[in-house]
Amino acid sequence: MTEELVIELLTEVFYTVFIILLPVLSVALIVGIFISIFQAATSIQEMTLTFVPKILFTGIAILFLIPWMLEKMIAITHKIISMMNTVVQ
């Protein structure tokens, strides 16, 4: 296994992880911004107000995105296994 192959494989794995996590982190970010604006507008400075909606919306996003996430993870796993099969032979 050459260094180029390892670098290519790691690059693709990190890219796939980034693509999988981006929608979930985006939902948490957007919800956090809306809650911050709401807190600033109403002068409510309750610390726990930010956690419950973020957890709720992030959980809902994960539930809706599970099939897509699994498809991406299965595709990269198949690619890794096929690369390993090629390298071993």
In a domain, 9, yes or no: no
Least trusted range by pLDDT, from 25-29, 55-59, 80-84, 85-89: 85-89
- Average pLDDT (59-75) is 96
In a domain, 32, yes or no: yes
Count of residues for the chain?
Answer: 89
Q: With cut-offs at 50, 70 and 90, classify the pLDDT of residue 14.
A: very high
Q: With cut-offs at 50, 70 and 90, classify the pLDDT of residue 43.
A: confident
Question: Tokens in use for 78?
Answer: 């198949």
In a domain, 5, yes or no: no
Residues 37, 56 contacting (CB under 8 angstroms): no
Mean pLDDT of the chain: 90
Domain count, the chain: 1
